Amino acid sequence: MAELLYPQVMERGEESAVADESAALTWRELDGRVDRWIAAFAGAGLGVGDRVALVMGNRIETYEALLACMHTGLVAVPVNWRLTPGEIAYILDDAGAECVITEGLYADAVREAVALADRLVRVRIDVDGTCFQPLDSLVTAEPAPASSGAVLLYTSGTSSRPKGVVNSRFTVGAPIEQVAKATAKLCQGLGIPGRGRALLAGPWYHSAQTFFSLYPLLNGCSLIMRRRFEASEVLELIDREQVTISHLVPIQFIRMLRAPAHVREAFSGESLLRIWHGGSPCPLDVKQAMIDWWGPVFTEYYAATESGIVTLIDSESWLKKPGSVGRSVPSSEIVIVGPDGDELPAGQEGRVGIRKRGGAGFHYHQAPGKTASAFITPETFTVGDVGHLDADGFLFLTARSVEIIVSGAVNIYPAEVEAVLLAHPAIADAAVLGVPDAEFGEQVKAVIRFEPGAGASPQELERHCRASLAGYKVPRSYDVVDELPREPTGKIARAALREPYWSGEARRI
């Protein structure tokens, strides 16, 4: 038996544990499937510390394999299924993957990636059997005693190659009880219940989605997942399946708020206990509208792959401190630092520094230089965000330092302008960036996507922006696109968006 599933199998083995669009498993059935993966990993000769890359969608088999890794001292490497074969090959090489697991939808890309990789990925599994061995054809063996596995997460790499983040959350090969204890502690601190239903409506491979799906499952919540987010479907699903907890991102809030009126009016949401959100700034009016609609069920956080969750703020506190992402959790401390690395007092803006209590930290896999550049002091690191603390210790983010627009020596923060643009009823999505300007260095440009069938003239958008923004912050031009490049977290992929405007320039700021 998979030891981490033992309480659920013993107490409610016939209740639903995991479900996707095509299947569902009880706790007892899930336990059996995880055991099959564990035996297959042993039969393939995979041992403690080996890396297992998963190029999989939001489906039951993904979580079977993840749970098996957590029981066998293996390191699971979630891989963005949207990557090209070359990008997948880079991660296979950088992670040192001994095994890759995929499915039919991504089989062609993974087959090509394996061929491109410099290393030999000796164990290749395709759960649909379209290009590699299916699970049930693999030779099994008696596994070694259970030991703690881990997850090696890769950052999105918007400005360079993806970086693998190694933190001290788990010690690979440690007794399996460490996972159980860490899970219980994390779930208690975050208010993740031991019963209920968790909804996964974003790509599992992102750190927040992994965290807020795997830990509820390990803690005893059943997990319902969907491959893609569709606003009307998710609203209906929450009520039909009596979902109690989920992790969502602001762009999903916006799309649900803009769902057809009859869909919004039919939504109850009475089962909801908590919705976590983070990863990108949430416009104030959007957050307020969601609280007005769903009630005070939202818990916002500030986090990074490198740090885990650093701050939390519930709905009641947010209503008193609109725009804040909360105060530090007990395991972390936030400091604001100036250009020279000195700490700044409350109210002053600077880089957001993170300290993990107890000496917990991180490093980038095989990238000591990048690790060193992230640390302001030996105890304090930053992921590039800019913000300030108020007198009560609440953190307010204003931008990422790499995203600041400097026009005529004046700093302009894209997040502020984007929030205003998104309040226009015709705009479905928006990004603001600095583009080259011979006189001012940079000028403000907005790249926007209109709602289907909607539109607005530049003059109308300028009037809309000037009603809320100082003149120097108002975009000087607008480009209309069919879709904006976004990371799974909801963050704008700014490097990709900026590139066409800065291509051929000798400078980048």
| Residue 109: CATH number of its domain | 3.40.50.980
Instruction: Examine residue 293 and state whether it is found in any structural domain, yes or no.
Output: yes
Q: Where does the pLDDT of residue 467 fall: very low under 50, low under 70, confident under 90, or very high at 90 and above?
A: confident
Q: Does any domain span residue 479?
A: yes
Q: Which of 360, 377, 400 is the endpoint of a domain?
A: 400
In the predicted model, what is the mean pLDDT of residues 381-401? 87
Same domain, 393 and 415: no
- Tell me the CA distances in angstroms from 136 to 36, 126, 133, 139, one per residue in order: 8, 10, 8, 8
Out of 345, 365, 400, a domain closes at 400
- 458-466's contacts with Cβ under 8 Å and 24+ in sequence apart are 461/421, 461/424, 464/420, 464/421, 464/423, 464/424, 465/417, 465/420, 465/421
Inside any domain, residue 98: yes
- Split at pLDDT 50, 70, 90, the class of 384 is confident
Burial (CB < 10 A; 0-12, 13-18, 19+), residue 496, is middle
Q: Does residue 470 register a pLDDT over 80?
A: no
Please tell me the predicted confidence (pLDDT) of residue 495.
77
What b/e string do you get for 421-450 counting C-beta neighbours within 10 Å, with b at 16 or more?
Answer: bbbbeebbbbbbbbbbeeebbbbbbbbbeb
Q: Which residue would you say has higher pLDDT here, 349 or 156?
A: 349
Cβ–Cβ < 8 Å for 287, 318: yes
B/e letters for 326-344, b = 16+ CB within 10 Å, e = fewer, are bbbbebbbbbbbeeeeeeb
Q: Could you give the CA distance from residue 265 to residue 356 in angstroms, rounded to a whole number?
A: 44
Cβ within 8 Å of residue 243, ≥6 positions away: 197, 198, 199, 224, 237, 271, 272
Q: Are residues 240 and 192 in the same domain?
A: no
Mean pLDDT of the chain: 90
Tokens 């059997």, residue located? 129
Give the CATH number for residue 471. 3.30.300.30
Range of the domain at 385: 229-400
- Tens of pLDDT, residue by residue over 315-326, are 999 999 999 999
Residue at which a domain ends, from 181, 214, 247: 214
Q: Tell me, what DSSP letter sits at residue 105?
A: G
- Indicate if 418 and 392 belong to the same structural domain: no
Q: How far is CA 264 from CA 251, 451, 452, in A?
A: 16, 17, 18
Q: Are residues 249 and 277 in contact, defined by beta-carbon separation less than 8 angstroms?
A: yes
Instruction: Give the per-residue pLDDT at 487.
Output: 77
